Structure 1
Amino acid sequence: MSTPNESSDGNLYTEANIPVNVGGKLSVFTVTIGATVPTGFEHTAAEEVGEKIEADARISKDRGRIYFQISTDKLHLVHHLKSVDNLFVIVKEFDNYQFKDSKEEAMSDLQQLASQLPWANALEVWRMNNSLKKRRGRRRGGNATKPKPAKGEDAPVPAMGEGDAVVTTTEKVQQDPDAPQGEEGEGVRGSSQEEEELEDEASKPLKFRVTCNRAGDKHSFTSNDAARDFGGAVQEFFQWKADMTKFDVEVLLNIHNSEVVIGIALTEESLHRRNITHFGPTTLRSTLAYGMLRLCKPQVSDVIIDPMCGTGAIPVEGSIEWQHSFFIAGDNNDMAVSRTVNNINHIQKKKQDGGSAPGLPVDTVQWDLCHLPMRTNSVDIIVTDMPFGKRMGSRKKNWDLYPSCLREMARVCRPGTGKAVLLTQDKKCFSKALSRMGGLWRKVHTVWVNVGGLHAGVFVLKRTASDYGTTPEDVRPPREAPEAPNNNKEEQ
């Protein structure tokens, strides 16, 4: 058992430099939680935070991030948010940090900053969060606390010599940062066995890494410079061991021009992969799928279709969150339909293993997008990720596909009340096709998003009150029979 020592910030720490609770009681205090979200969906994520946690979220100057305050007794609720990719607890924020002009002076300031930060509350939240994940892992029969680098993220780059602090950096002028994430947690009071395990872990030296994300062109240093020097100072202050892959604590250093945020990651890999096990060539992020669904505000008994479902990210997210609506996932590709079925079965098995009813309000079918096997005016909402014409389809084919599918979507969608939320990067083609459907669809607004580095648009459409078959867009004049050749020269 380690002996608590008082540090320079006036808090008690164990030898492993984890803050301890005096008297063995868990204190309740307020902390600021940061979350990365799909770029363009910051307001949607803030709305969800207000709805589920009853907290006011503010949007960062750096796109793709929101911040909100919660009391620690509500910590488990943050893992139920569906629109966030990554979660972290804030150690300290600087709205207008003044970096020195020279690289040496700027790095010296960062090194001194490490020992002056109020780490205690953030580390306590990190410990609480680990306890939540451990209990979650036990109920699943697995280990949810084994740290691992996020899949799909840039490989961590060592920035110091062997035995020194290991750092990973991401540097770009405009960025949509992601930090490692983990699984959902739930608030359940711990047993004495769990407390003993936490005490045992507290006596072991922690492993850590520093991840730096930097944006802006007025800095005299690189991301690697900042992470290396700041990471070295953190290592010296806490006497932690550096480990790039099997770390316990990930310290985040986010620099956006003059805004500096230091945090500690609460999750191990991005939540956008949470419900997908069978991936396709253009699998949509679960967080982006959820954001698109929130834009159309599904109601009880709504019939919602995804006519180009791919791997089923949209109907899977929808059927989990809005169980009083009914979802139909369809695609013309048999492999896509198979992946969707497998992803739905995976969620149903998880629900069954967790002791809840395995059923989901969703069906899957293979169909022709331009000839949907559905009655006219039978669908309330259409949400889909349309082919960009890059990895799937082609820009040339889109010029024929987009008008045809918009017309067929209008046929099955309810006039006056029906909605469509459509994602595409082929904005020129879509806008042209939509302009030809003025009698059937009206654009409400557009959300601009970053999809894998591509600038795409989420177009929110409203079905007009016009009945299908009564507008110039869907009425075709009968073809006239060709005239017989006229042999009268004078008339010719």
Structure 2
Amino acid sequence: MATVTSGLEHIAAAEIGDAFLGSQVEVQYDRKDYPGRVFFSVSNMTEDSFSILNGLHSVEYVYCLIGRITLQSCCPPPAQPTTTTDDTEQLKSSLQEKEGQEKQSDEGEKVAEKKEEHKKRKKAREDDKRRKKKKTEVDPQLKEKALAEIASAVSIYNETDWETAYGVWKSYARAVKGIRNSEMLSTAIFSVSARTAGSHLFRENEMGETLAASIQTLYPRWRQQCRNSEMEIMAYLRNSELILGFTITQSSLSMSHVSASRDLGVTALKPAIAYAMLRMAQLRPGMIVVDPMSGCGTIPQMGSNIWSHCLYFAGDISEVAVRKTKNNEDSAREEKRRTAPCDVFQWDGTLTPFRDNSVDMVITDMPFGKRIGNKQGNTKLYPRIFQEMYRIVREGGKAVVLTQETELMQSKIISRKTWKDEEHMDINQGGMKTRIYVLSKVNASEECSGQHARELSVEWKCLWANKQKEVHPPGIEPGSPAWKADIIPLDHECWL
């Protein structure tokens, strides 16, 4: 089993299938029942298989499963309907009666009635709190029964199942980490990582303690140690199904493909998400890829490592972000990770120095308006960014963007019919619901009216003329042929 970013299950399944293309591999995933998890089995695992496993980009952690079992008494029983009188309805009826009597009562009686109403409301609130507290309280007998069932789940699998799963862990440790210890099976130091999803009669720490005690009963010579353990046993309980297994990878596989000393920004993108965006772009040899808002450069760095047959340009308006991107590129070059050319520059993403129809693909992480910028600013920024993308992307080119502004994308970008939404995918990014769009450029002569195309052309000429008037590069006189050109020529051989 592998854990992935929720929403990228099909990307991970496709990558696993492609990685083990020559082997017998079965891949399954269910985003509804098991979000963020992909189950796969590979026959005849060898050292080469472990090397392939270590090269996955969309996977976070890998586990070797011991088994899956359905429990009967771990979930709380359904709530029974209460037979007590509803204080809220009684309070409403009494208030309605008193509303008719208030007109005939004097001022003193009104004050007394208001005090009585206040007391009844307070009593009703206290009763509601007591009922809610009673619902959250767990019956000790039910809890003990549920934990006993958790403990018995360990012994359901025989010693062969445990040794087989542990043997896979030993083979991985021997092949990747270089650990060689023939006595490891009998004197292992282990820890238990327990996770739950859903409503249960016990907490995660209680579940972990129960499982650790049962494992020590099954293997008396094994010793539990929370920190610096040799191996980690994973227990994942979702509703009533318990999954047990050994943690194969101690660190995230996706993070291992970027420089360990990379300089992170405020909104650094996870490498697994960057890989998914690059894979959805379907890059081909010779493509020119641009990230106009690169941040710390995760997307171009992942692209140059994996899709080395493309040319990458990265830039950002922030000088700090550009410096971090260059530092990360230097670190990747020192570690011999980067295999494709990638140039980093400081520019305004709404006015990039590229000729019209000169870029094959734009892949970028758009600002969400939370840590950087704001929602109001995005309403002005997004149209300008996508207009600039439309100018530089050739006919048939695409843009792959990650954003949380789904309503803004629909109202300001897709509805203008300059970009066609070919595919979009919702993912869970750090608890936020975000979406990856794959947009294709719509040919203005076919999909847009002539008037609309002329308006876009005039708008871009005005924007570019204003930018040229604001900034004059050194050595270029205003009014010269270079100043009037579509692009400000820069002293770099890769500029288009």
- Normalising by the residue count of structure 1, what TM-score does the alignment of the two structures yield? 0.72
Q: Does 1:348 align with 2:333?
A: yes
Is the Cα–Cα contact under 8 Å of residues 381 and 420 in structure 1 kept in the other structure? yes
Pick the aligned partner of 1:366 from 346, 352, 355: 346
The answer to whether the Cα contact below 8 Å between 2:193 and 2:232 also exists between their aligned partners in 1 is yes
**Residue 172 of structure 2 corresponds to which residue in structure 1?**
129
Please say if 1:228 is aligned against 2:209.
Answer: yes
**Inter-partner Cα distance in structure 2 for 1:472 and 1:255:** 60
Divergent runs of 4+, >4 A? 467-470, 475-479
- Aligned residue runs from structure 1 range 92-103, under 5 A: 92-94=67-69, 96-100=70-74, 102-103=142-143
Give 1:115 shift. 2.7
Q: Tell me: CA distance 1:305–1:386, structure 2 relative to 1, closer, same or farther (3 Å).
A: same
Unaligned runs of 5+ residues in structure 2 are 77-141, 463-496
Counterparts of 2:433 and 2:204 in 1: how far apart (Å)? Answer: 25
Contact 1:377 1:414 in 2 (8 A): yes
Q: Which amino acid aligns with 1:289?
A: A
The residue number in structure 2 matching 1:465 is: 443
Deviations 1:324-352 (A, max 9, x none): 11111111111111111121222221228
What is the CA distance between 1:423 and its match in structure 2?
Answer: 0.6
| SS across alignment from 1:365 | strand
Kept in 2: contact 1:407–1:437 (CA 8 A):
no
Question: Does 1:320 find its partner at 2:269?
Answer: no
Query: Superposition pairs for residues 4-43 of structure 1, below 5 Å?
Result: 34-43=1-10
Letter in structure 2 aligned against 1:223: E
The match for 1:90 is 65
CA separation of 1:110/1:204 partners in 2, compared to 1, >3 Å: closer, same or farther? closer
The alpha-carbon deviation at position 473 of structure 1 amounts to: 6.4
Q: Which amino acid aligns with 1:264?
A: F
1:139-178: CA deviation from partner (whole Å, max 9, x where unpaired): xxxxxxxxxxxxxxxxxxxxxxxxxxxxxxxxxxxxxxxx
1:420 alignment counterpart: 399
How far, CA to CA, are the matches of 1:473 and 1:436 in structure 2?
A: 16
Q: Which position in structure 2 is the counterpart of 1:486?
A: none
Classify the secondary structure of the residue corresponding to 1:109: helix
CA offset at residue 363 of structure 1?
1.4
| 1:64 matched residue in structure 2 | 36
Q: Which residue of 2 aligns with 1:285?
A: 270
- Check conservation: 1:348, 1:360, Cα contact below 8 A: no
Greater Cα offset, 286-295 or 99-108: 99-108
Check whether the contact 2:292–2:364 (CA below 8 A) recurs between aligned residues.
yes
Partner in structure 2 of residue 109 of structure 1: 149
How far the C-alpha of 1:241 sits from its partner, in A, is 2.1
Distance 1:112 1:401 in 2: 58
- Counterpart of 1:198? 181
Q: 1:98 Cα deviation (Å)? A: 2.6
Please give the secondary structure, in 2, of the residue aligned with 1:392: coil
Distance in 2, Cα, partners of 1:88 & 1:361: 36
Tell me if the contact between 1:377 and 1:411 (Cα under 8 Å) persists in the aligned partners.
Answer: yes
Alignment of 1:136-215 (within 5 A): 197-199=180-182, 202=184, 205-215=187-197
- Residue aligning to 2:133: none
Is 1:396 aligned with 2:387?
no
Shift of 1:437: 3.0
Greater CA drift, 125-134 or 459-468: 459-468
The 1-side partners of 2:378 and 2:347 are apart by: 18
Deviation of the 1:429 alpha carbon: 2.2
The offset of 1:204, in angstroms, is 7.7
Query: How far, CA to CA, are the matches of 2:185 and 2:420 in structure 1?
Result: 63
Secondary structure of 2:68's counterpart equals strand
CA drift at 1:247: 1.1
Deviates more, 1:73-82 or 1:122-131: 73-82
Asked whether the equivalents of residues 437 and 473 of structure 1 are also in contact (C-alpha less than 8 Å), the reply is no
2:51 aligned with 1:76, yes or no?
A: yes
Task: Kindly provide the CA deviation profile for residues 413-432 of structure 1, in whole angstroms up to 9, marking residues without a partner as x.
Answer: 111x2111111112222222
- Shift in Å, 1:472: 6.3
Q: Does the 8 Å CA contact 2:50/2:175 hold for their aligned counterparts? A: no
- Given candidates 241, 244, 248, the residue that maps to 1:266 is 248
Please, which of 280, 287, 291 is the counterpart of residue 302 of structure 1? 287
Alpha-carbon separation, structure 2, partners of 1:473 and 1:343: 41
Matching of residue 257 in structure 1 with residue 231 in structure 2: no
Secondary structure of 1:389's aligned partner: coil
The 3-state SS of whatever aligns with 1:432 is: helix
Q: Distance in 2 between matches of 1:381 and 1:331?
A: 17
What TM-score, normalized to structure 2? 0.72
For 2:73, the aligned partner's letter is: F
**How many Å apart are 1:108 and its aligned residue?**
0.8
CA–CA distance in structure 1, aligned partners of residues 71 and 20 of structure 2: 30
Q: Distance in 1 between matches of 2:185 and 2:277?
A: 46
2:207 counterpart SS class = helix
- Secondary structure class of the residue paired with 2:416: coil
- C-alpha distance in structure 2 between counterparts of 1:421 and 1:259, whole Å: 37
CA contact (8 A) 2:293 2:316 kept: yes
The partner residue of 1:455 within 433, 447, 461 is 433
8 A contact 1:46–1:66 mirrored in 2: yes
Q: Is the 8 A contact 2:289 2:312 kept in 1?
A: yes
Shift of 1:436: 4.7
Tell me how far apart the structure 1 counterparts of residues 339 and 211 of structure 2 sit (CA, whole Å). Answer: 50
Residues 406 and 437 in structure 1, CA contact (< 8 A), matched pair in contact too: no
Gaps of 5+ in 1: 1-33, 136-193, 353-357, 480-492
Distance 1:443 1:92 in 2: 42
Give 2:469's aligned residue.
none
- Please state how far the C-alpha of 1:475 moved relative to its aligned partner: 4.2
Give 2:371's aligned amino acid: R
Q: In structure 2, the residue corresponding to 1:220 is in which secondary structure? A: coil
Q: Is the 8 A contact 1:331 1:366 kept in 2?
A: yes
